[in-house]
Amino acid sequence: MNRATFNTNQITIKNNCFFGLPTTIEDAKVVFLSVPWDATVSYGEGTANGPQGILDASYQLDWYDFDLPLAWEVGYSTLPISAEIRAKSEKTRAIAKKVIDHLESGNELNDKAIAKKLEKVNQASTNLNDWVYAQCKNLLLQGKLIGLVGGDHSVPLGYIKALTEDSEYSILHIDAHADLREAYEGFTYSHASIMNNVLLLPNISKLVQVGIRDLCQEEINKIKSDNRIVLFDDWQLKNNLYEGLTWQQQCETIISNLSEKVYISFDVDGLNQAFCPNTGTPVPGGLDFNQAIYLVQTLVKSGKKIIGFDLCEVAPSKSDEEQWDGNIGARLLYKLTNLMYLSQSS
Ligand SMILES: [Mn+2]
């Protein structure tokens, strides 16, 4: 980016870079990696279009940030949204659908043809995880911070794995769902299993879950039996608020459970659906946009470092004119990136 001629008050040029910020990878402090993948989603489709929807809406943002006024100067670089990954997602999704249809008709997974399809889907997911891992490892070795843009919530596993090779850290997980199922619909790498898979990695000291409000018994059992998991469910958070505990007090309690290095896994459905009307698996309730940001701001104020983050499950509206989901996604992406950078530089 030519900083001397870059006019932050003028129109943003649509250059396929998030927020129109065209920094080279070489000069970048932060790199955005898009993962347009939703092969195994269980309910609504469309999160594979999340990166494009966020990109399209991101041109419209103003660059001034109240936490990091000169955020646009930091150096944010955008890797191209991979058409190949997008195509593989589509192809795999078609196979996964057959498995889901089979199960939804009340059948078991012992059908040979279906088992073969399932194997294909699991292999494609493994390949995706390997791809994300390789991309992230490469960027981390260059000293870059990474903002990963999903995709459904299965996609950050390779990134989280690459980070575990550096040091121990904890995860702040904002979501309506606990995502602790041991495979869902037979898919080992389902979006509903991401945190189960994460906890199989070494070096994850804590998983702190916030805003959760849709759980199955298996997940409750896991939360109770694994002392690395700390649950701040949406019901309790809201009840505490109604009964006089402030959001600040609750944020401090949440953050006190995290270690010095924190990764944020942000599923947009952790927010109230007003902020993600087209997301795949919406649940009523949830955090307000400002509550979520305040939580991350409080984390930064605590002096803990944000070592990376993902933003998943943003599904843009099918209508071109309506960019609300993408708009919220872009604002979250900007804020998370700025706060990550701020936490690293203070
Ligand atoms: Mn979710």
Report yes or no on 6 lying in a domain. no
Report yes or no on 267 lying in a domain. yes
Q: Is 65 annotated as a binding residue?
A: no
Number of domains in the chain: 1
Phi-psi bin for 158: left (phi > 0), alpha (psi -120 to 50), beta? alpha
Q: For the chain, what is the radius of gyration of the CA atoms? A: 19
Report yes or no on 57 lying in a domain. yes
Report yes or no on 11 lying in a domain. no
Strand ranges (E), 98-203: 145-150, 169-174
Q: Is 177 annotated as a binding residue?
A: yes
| DSSP assignment letter at 193 | G
Q: Is 56 annotated as a binding residue?
A: no
CA distance linking residue 179 with residue 189, whole number of Å: 11
In percent, the amount of the chain with pLDDT more than 70 equals: 98
Q: Is 67 annotated as a binding residue?
A: no
Domain residues for the domain of 300 are 18-345
Q: Is 267 annotated as a binding residue?
A: yes
Expressed in angstroms and rounded, the spacing between residue 267 Cα and the centre of ligand 1 is 5
Q: What is the pLDDT of residue 17?
A: 95
Expressed in angstroms and rounded, the spacing between residue 118 Cα and the centre of ligand 1 is 22
50 preceded by cis ω (within 30°)?
no
Expressed in angstroms and rounded, the spacing between residue 301 Cα and the centre of ligand 1 is 27
Report yes or no on 323 lying in a domain. yes
Report yes or no on 104 lying in a domain. yes
> What CATH number corresponds to the domain at position 112?
3.40.800.10
Q: What is the pLDDT of residue 67?
A: 96
Q: Is 320 annotated as a binding residue?
A: no
What are the C-alpha distances in Å from 77 to residues 139, 178, 195, 268, 318? 11, 31, 28, 22, 27
Low-confidence stretches of the chain (pLDDT beneath 70): 1-6, 320
CB of 317 closer than 8 Å to CB of 265: no
* 246, 248, 254, 260 alpha-carbon torsion, rounded to 10°: -170
Report yes or no on 220 lying in a domain. yes
Report yes or no on 270 lying in a domain. yes
